[in-house]
Amino acid sequence: MSTSIAWCLQSDTVSWMERATQVPLFLIFLIAASAFLLNGVRLILIFYFFARCHRQEDSGLQELSQPLLQRLNLPSVRILCCAVDQPLALAWGFFRPTILLSRWMIEHLDSQELLIS
């Protein structure tokens, strides 16, 4: 065994080879942490928007969506409408799926564009 290898094995310092195996793990952790952080910011912004938006259920769209949901064998979806003067469509919910559409979308799109059948 050469003296440099013996020195690396006995030394308390971490060799470059050990660092090279730790860098990918650190990068994966960094990517996952930033994804959680950005998702948290996104959720805060969504809750802020929903607090300012007046929502109401739209029974016309609910009835229009039922044949499509039955044909695709999907659970019922709650469709909400909010008073925003620009195109906006959001979907959320795992256990209670919900779709939020702006009044602009409902007024400017026909039924074929709202629910592709």
| pLDDT interval class at 71 (50, 70, 90) | confident
Which of 16-25, 50-59, 68-77 shows the highest mean pLDDT?
68-77
Greater confidence, 87 or 51? 87
Q: What is the mean pLDDT of residues 55-83?
A: 81
Alpha carbon distance 91, 36 (integer Å): 19
pLDDT of the residue at 76? 84
Structure tokens at 44: 């805060």
Greater confidence, 86 or 117? 86
pLDDT at 74 over 70: yes
Bridge partners of 79? Answer: 99
Which backbone phi and psi does 66 adopt, to 5 degrees?
-60, -45
Chain-wide mean pLDDT for the chain? 79
